[in-house]
Amino acid sequence: MGKTAIIIPARYGSSRLEGKPLIEVNGKPIIQWVWERAKSVKSADEVIIATDDRRIYDCAKSFNAEVEMTSTEHKCGSDRICEVAKRHSDFDIIVNLQGDEPMINPECVETVIQLLKNDSNADISTLVAEAEKDEIDNPNNVKCVFDKNGYALYFSRSKIPFERKTDIAVFYKHIGIYGYRRKALFDMAQLPQAMIEKTESLEQLRALYFGMKIKTAVVNYKAVGIDTKEDLEKFKELVKG
């Protein structure tokens, strides 16, 4: 059995929060917060930061993280992760952990890994959580429906399922962390974008369109992703508390 690796893609440029990975909170850059959480995941053999920016590379080195430079041409995090994974032939399971989730629960990352280890039919694994009322209609909160075995049927920015009859549905919000089998990750990088992926701007729909099986698990976790200055202020308050 090969290794399980967590790869954290981190880039400097962000339209809403420039230099996000290097912003310090309580004396630590955000990327270090994420890395420290990842390092505490018991099933992970390696944790690597993947970046195309020398400033992030140098910062990661300063707190003794394993870090690798990648191409500046990548359009998404999974392409960046794919480049790193190709250099490590012994990586069997690769987790894509976003570099802007400093409060990620290590147990959630562990769940993503175990979903693949326990189900040989699953190509990809991810997490969902029950959506709050104010999240259901928000297109920034991606919704997911799944079958009785936990396999994703569809992801959408729309409210799914549609309520023809009310007071029945439970809505689930997608948490954007993925586990990939090695082959699935490389296949994803080679496949063309599907119409549904382009329409919704959701990369995971490419996997569903081409018949890959995405296994989900429901967790009790409220993501604290940092996309905006407001998110950053919320995180600072949480750390203070």
Distance (Å, whole) CA 70 – CA 80: 6
Distance (Å, whole) CA 181 – CA 165: 38
pLDDT of amino acid 229: 86
What confidence tens digit (pLDDT) does each residue in 196-226 have? 999 999 999 999 999 999 999 999 987 778 8
Distance (Å, whole) CA 211 – CA 219: 25
**Global confidence as pTM:** 0.94
CATH topology of domain 1-104+227-241: Spore Coat Polysaccharide Biosynthesis Protein SpsA; Chain A (3.90.550)
Buried b (16+ CB within 10 A) or exposed e, 7-41: bbbbbeeeeebeebbbbebeeebbbbbbbebbeeb
pLDDT of amino acid 73: 83
3-class DSSP state of 69: strand
* Domain limits, the chain: 1-104+227-241, 120-175+191-222
Mean pLDDT of 24-29: 92
Distance (Å, whole) CA 57 – CA 221: 30
Tell me the pLDDT band of 230, cut-offs 50, 70 and 90.
Answer: confident
pLDDT of amino acid 241: 60
Whole-number percent of the chain with pLDDT over 70: 98
| Per-residue tokens: 116 | 């693949």
Tell me the pLDDT band of 74, cut-offs 50, 70 and 90.
Answer: confident
Mean pLDDT of 33-62: 96
pLDDT of amino acid 33: 96
What confidence tens digit (pLDDT) does each residue in 156-211 have? 999 999 999 999 999 999 998 999 999 999 999 999 999 999 999 999 999 999 99
What confidence tens digit (pLDDT) does each residue in 94-141 have? 999 998 889 999 999 999 999 999 999 999 999 999 999 999 999 989
pLDDT of amino acid 231: 87
pLDDT of amino acid 15: 65
pLDDT of amino acid 46: 97
